[in-house]
Amino acid sequence: MIGFSPDFALKIQELRSCLFQKFYQHQQIAVHNKEAEEVLGKLFAYFKKNPEKALESAVLDQPVEVSIGDYIAGMTDQYALRMFQQIGS
């Protein structure tokens, strides 16, 4: 099997640990992640109640929730925030 040398694998693991502690799980990042979850959750709920607003080009052979998720995933951050503000956060 192909893999990293033990020394290099250890350095990669140290880097991953550092990134998780100082970036991915940092308190300020966690706050922004929570805010993003709220925005995305409310957008999803809105489009679930109002699918005609999001599903003009929906794929008909997949569940509506998948089409809504695809629609939201295609939004830029700024567009999602504007839409969130428009629907009445």
83 confidence band (pLDDT: 50, 70, 90): very high
Statement: residue 89 has pLDDT above 90:
no
Q: Is 81 exposed, middle or buried (0-12, 13-18, 19+ CB in 10 A)?
A: middle
* pTM: predicted TM-score of the whole model, two decimal places: 0.71
- Please determine, for residue 23, whether its predicted confidence score (pLDDT) is greater than 90: no
The mean pLDDT value for 13-37 works out to: 91
For residue range 37-77, list pLDDT tens digits in order: 999 999 999 999 998 887 776 566 788 899 899 999 999 99
Task: Report percent pLDDT > 70 for the chain.
Answer: 93
With 0-12 CB in 10 A as exposed, 13-18 as middle and 19+ as buried, what is 39? Answer: middle
Structure tokens at 38: 């709220």
Cα distance between residue 58 and residue 76, in whole Å = 19
